[in-house]
Amino acid sequence: MSQETVLQTNVEPVTAEQLEKALAAGADYFAHQPSSQFDRCQQLLKLAQLFDDQAEQLGVQAAHDMHKRLVEGQQEAHAAANIIRYYANNGPALLSPKPYVYGQNDAHAQLEYDPLGIVLAVEPWNFPYTQVIRVLAPNYLAGNPVLLKPARSVAGCAQAMVALTEKAGFPTGAFTSLNLSHDQVANVIGDDRIQGVAVTGSTAVGRHLASLAGQNVKPSTLELGGSDACLVLDDADLATAILEMATSRLRNSGQTCTSAKRFIVRREVADQVIDGLTKIFNRQTIGDPLDAATTLAPLASKAGQERLTAQVKLALDHGAKALVKGGAVGETGFQPTLLTNLTADNPASQEEFFGPVAQLYVVDSDEEAIQVANSTPFGLAGSIFSQDLSRAKHLASRMATGQVFINKGSSGIPELPFGGIKQSGYGREMSDLGILTFMNAKIVVLPD
């Protein structure tokens, strides 16, 4: 698949007739459940293999749609395949009835899981495959059809996924992608055929869509922004910590919700950390995402570049210092930037920077590190670097986040729950929790 053969998709909003046809197809699929659970497992396994086999094509499509580096697009395709395989191999056991015992005579009951109906997935552009698959794979296995509203900039990636599901044997109505307008999304949430809403995006978008779901008494999950803290203690393996910190912050050109954005470093090792990060940040090469020599792709949009530039300027205007100046280059590029001297009243300390900009805080104690880590309205993920596992675990238990990684950067692991708290959202994707979100947990009570 060359740059000339990527999917060029019409991103005009769908008509009312097209929307009704999609909803009717999803409702019909749900009502008749044309595939058995075994069939769905086999179709998911086939889909996973297609993601692996077509990783390069999918990577080219992502490079075209949102400037993702080819190698990162390929890695994302393989990550999507891993999520799919997890649910194909483990989903039936996760959904099996669970026995309960009740009463003085130890009578029996069992908890059964029934699908609810069509799940609306509103997904962004930064990870156009895995963010969709985190919703599609468990819900397809469970019997819930999925209606995807992708970000318009990655409509080509969405179209590519629809084609793969069709090739894998998904029945009509099981998975549909529509370029819905904001008004159409609101109307769809109010439609009785929609029984769940999964949202990944900004806090503002999540708040709005969750309110619509709440007004219609429908379950929802929100995976929103993050300003993840990375704690580097005085006994950390600095070679490992510095590499993991830089890799996390620069992954996907810094456009990752769960990347380490705030480096909270003990004063004893701060100079070494700054020196190591500065060297890595300064040697990045921005260029064509399809060029193997490129180490940092351009941002996905001009608007993203302008927003990041304004945020950095505002931080500097409020007293921050740039250890690595970086900044906008070319049409949408952005050189890595490392900020420090950020006080509590600096607006940057409370914002998410969606690009290759890191904040560095120097602290004198573990207690101060935790206070800084928990001082934002976000709580998605975090990381701690220390050679004292007990010390790291103690601090991890005090971090107000949905995930904490010790001596490694954050990542999505199919077997583990993914999600946040505070303004980073609620609910969990992946693992057993991800398949139960949009299920009716029905207790069947047997006579005693």
Is 257 considered catalytic here?
A: yes
User: Which residue among 72, 123, 223, 352 is the active-site one?
Assistant: 223
> End-to-end alpha-carbon separation of the chain, Å?
63
Verify whether residue 230 is a known catalytic residue.
Answer: no
Tokens (6 digits) for 279: 């060297």
Among 157, 257, 351, 352, which one carries the catalytic annotation? 257
Of 216, 181, 218, 193, nearest in space to 24 by CA: 193
Strand partners, 200: 223
Beta strand 421-422 pairing with 439-445: unpaired
Residue tagged 């209606």 (tokens): 147
Report phi then psi at 426, rounded to 5.
-155, 165
Residues 6+ away with beta carbon under 8 Å from 227: 261, 262, 350, 351, 352, 353, 376, 378
Q: Write out the chain in H/E/C secondary structure.
A: CCHHHCCCCCCCCCCHHHHHHHHHHHHHHHHHCCCCHHHHHHHHHHHHHHHHHCHHHHHHHHHHHHCCCHHHHHHHHHHHHHHHHHHHHHHHHHCCCEEEEECCCCEEEEEEEEECCEEEEECCCCCCCHHHHHHHHHHHHHCCCEEEECCHHHHHHHHHHHHHHHHHCCCCCCEEECCCCHHHHHHHHHCCCEEEEEEECCHHHHHHHHHHHHHCCCCEEEECCCCEEEEECCCCCHHHHHHHHHHHHHHHHHCCCCCEEEEEEEHHHHHHHHHHHHHHHHCCCECCCCCCCCCECCCCCHHHHHHHHHHHHHHHHCCCEEEECCEEECCCEEECEEEECCCCCCHHHHCCCCCCEEEEEEECCHHHHHHHHCCCCEECCEEEECCCHHHHHHHHCCCCCCCCEECCCCCCCCCCCECCEECCEECCECHHHHHHCCEEEEEEECCC
Indicate the burial class of 70 (C-beta count within 10 angstroms; 0-12, 13-18, 19 or more).
buried
Query: Which residues are marked as active site?
Result: 223, 257
